[in-house]
Amino acid sequence: MVDVKFHDIGEGITEGEVIQYLVKIGEKVEADQPLVEVQTDKMTAELPSPAQGTITDIKVPEGEQITVGTTLLVIDPGQSATVDTRKEEEQAKKSVQIQVTKPANKKLVLAAPYTRKIARDLGVNIEEVTGTGPAGRITDEDVYRFTNESAAGKRQVSQESASASARRLETEEENIVPFKGRRKIIAEKMAKSLFTIPHVTHFEEADVTNVLNLTQQLKEEGDHVSVAAFFIKAVQIALQDFPVFNAVLDEENEVIKMKNHCHMGIAVDTEEGLIVPVIRHTERKSIKQIHDEMKQLIQKAQENRLNPKEMSGSTFTISNVGPLGSIAATPIINYPETGLMAFHKAKKRPAVVNDEITIRSMMNISMSFDHRVADGAMAVAFTNRFVRLIENPAKMLLELM
């Protein structure tokens, strides 16, 4: 017998949730055939079969949380088949690169684990639901709308499922949302950061009129580059002068490891929670290259298609919350990094320029840092360096020559 387990796939992933099985007990399977879809805090992946054989047992029901090492299915390879244990391990690790790739006869469905569970409880075939979220993602509301619009006699819902549905749809006092999966892991990471790192947040403002005018000019000339790409490049240049913020504190060995490269994390808000894709080696890339890669990563994050490499190894993180309307915050550092800079909403307001009052686009900045590694004066100097670059974007050209 061959046990199909949830293997250690690295990048700090230790648990996940069984979304759905793609096979049934008694079904014959081929080697490398997708068996089960698992959701982790970073991705949705299909685990392939390590051998040819017959499914004899399913150990964990759909919707259950699992940890590394948990046996999900059992395969009887038969007398004619042999199993290479090393191949099984390699296939399990390779499976994390297969992002929700379904067999040819199955429709590609983008939906969160909790949304899928709602559909199962309501007896809804989620492949029949039309998604209204980003990239056609199916939301909870889409499932409820499909249920309400369908004739009552089209589906038979078990008494247990009907009770669960009624509790969700009819309760007036509270709505129960499972605290598990990505949301739980995000909470654990935030708590670890906050209780491990002594946070200090420095606030500053920047006149972003010139950089906004520059992006508008480029757009009119057919070169669309977001202002966030300029922010990232300015941060990367400032980190070259203040490498202590591009560092990790190794308490065990009592050293501060300052990185010689800059892998920029970008906080992205998605339907399933906060995700931080990473633009690697921003010191080697132009502002246009940063813009193009950032756009691709954000889209993949919103569609839950990022692979582990695209979400790991960041040395500094930025959070561009301005488009959401934020004016200030005290952001939590992306552990184990040393700093995080947040950019807030740019607003036109009176400002004094050359002793004259004029209207400028001003933006607030929040810079949280690890006070064990750096002091306030250094954080102020680092932020001021960023402000000077972003207020006069032409200066960045000198740094790129």
Enumerate the active-site residues: 371
**33-53 CB burial, b ≥16 within 10 A, e <16:** ebbbbbbbbbbbbbbbbbbbb
Could you tell me the strand order of the sheet in which 2-5 lies? 2-5, 71-76, 53-58, 28-29
Taking the chain, what is the end-to-end CA distance rounded to the nearest angstrom?
62
Give the 3-state secondary structure of residue 270. strand
358, HSE (Cβ side, Cα atoms, 13 Å): 9
Residue 112's closest CA among 39, 4, 191? 39
Q: Which two tokens stand for residue 386?
A: 């960023």
Residue 313 region by backbone torsions, left for phi larger than 0, else alpha for psi between -120 and 50, else beta: left
Contacts of 352 (CB under 8 A, 6+ apart): 358
Q: Cα angle at 121 between 116 and 127, to 5 degrees?
A: 45
Question: Which amino acid does the sequence have at 94?
Answer: K
Cβ 374 vs Cβ 202: under 8 Å: no
DSSP per-residue letters across 131-193 = P-SGGGPBPHHHHHHHHHHS-GGG----HHHHHHHHHHHH-SS-------HHHHHHHHHHHHH
Q: Which amino acid is at 224?
A: H
| 3-state class (DSSP) for residue 287 | helix
